[in-house]
Amino acid sequence: MNFQRGQKKEEPEINLVPMIDVLLVILIFLVITTTYSKFSELEITLPQAANAEITPDSERPHVIDVTVSAAGNYTINRVPITFSSVEGLRNELQSAAKNEKNPVIIINADAKATHQSVITIMEAARIAGYNQVTFATETTEATETKK
């Protein structure tokens, strides 16, 4: 039996205030617990490969050409070498220097060679006292299209 025939039933309503309060607490928790890492940038100016003037042989310094393959094999002046430590590579560099005081070390590394193999050459040159280290680059000529 319905004794309240003339009264309207109340419409159910959703109270949004508690839901907003809970969402704000969750948002504050996420902001506080998030760790922000700072990325420090290292500004590097990379060298450009350009054609250089050729100097006479009498003015050229002694050059040691060190090549690293993708497999990690080393050659000094196109002669394959094997060594077990940085000191071994230093000894090979010193023997290739032929009593020159400060030869120029040219590192020619394959694009797929590891960074560590290049660093090993640089460390051996530093230990040997050779401070003139440079890298060989490959230039690519832009092809011109005829219009």
Domain presence at residue 22 = no
> Would you call 136 helix, strand, or coil by DSSP?
coil
pLDDT at 142: 47
pLDDT at 37: 64
pLDDT at 2: 57
Per the CB < 8 A criterion, the answer to whether 105 and 96 are in contact is no
Domain presence at residue 113 = yes
Domain presence at residue 88 = yes
CA 108-112-113 angle, to 5 degrees, is 55
Report H helices in 46-137. 86-97, 115-128
Domain presence at residue 145 = no
pLDDT at 41: 56
Per the CB < 8 A criterion, the answer to whether 76 and 110 are in contact is no
Domain presence at residue 93 = yes
Total domains in the fold of the chain: 1
Domain presence at residue 11 = no
Say if pTM beats, i.e. exceeds, 0.75: no
Q: What is the pLDDT along the chain (147 residues), one digit of tens a residue?
A: 556 666 677 788 888 999 999 999 999 998 888 876 665 555 556 556 666 666 655 566 789 999 999 888 999 999 999 888 899 999 999 999 888 888 999 999 988 888 999 999 999 999 999 989 998 877 665 444 444
Kindly state the tokens that stand for 56: 């006479």
pLDDT at 147: 43
CATH of the domain at 79: 3.30.420.270
Question: Using CA atoms, how far apart are residues 70 and 112, in angstroms rounded to an integer?
Answer: 5
CA dihedral (83, 85, 88, 94) positive or negative:
positive
pLDDT at 128: 92
pLDDT at 144: 43
Question: Using CA atoms, how far apart are residues 23 and 26, in angstroms rounded to an integer?
Answer: 5
Domain presence at residue 87 = yes
Domain presence at residue 81 = yes
Show the domain range for 90: 63-135
pLDDT at 15: 87
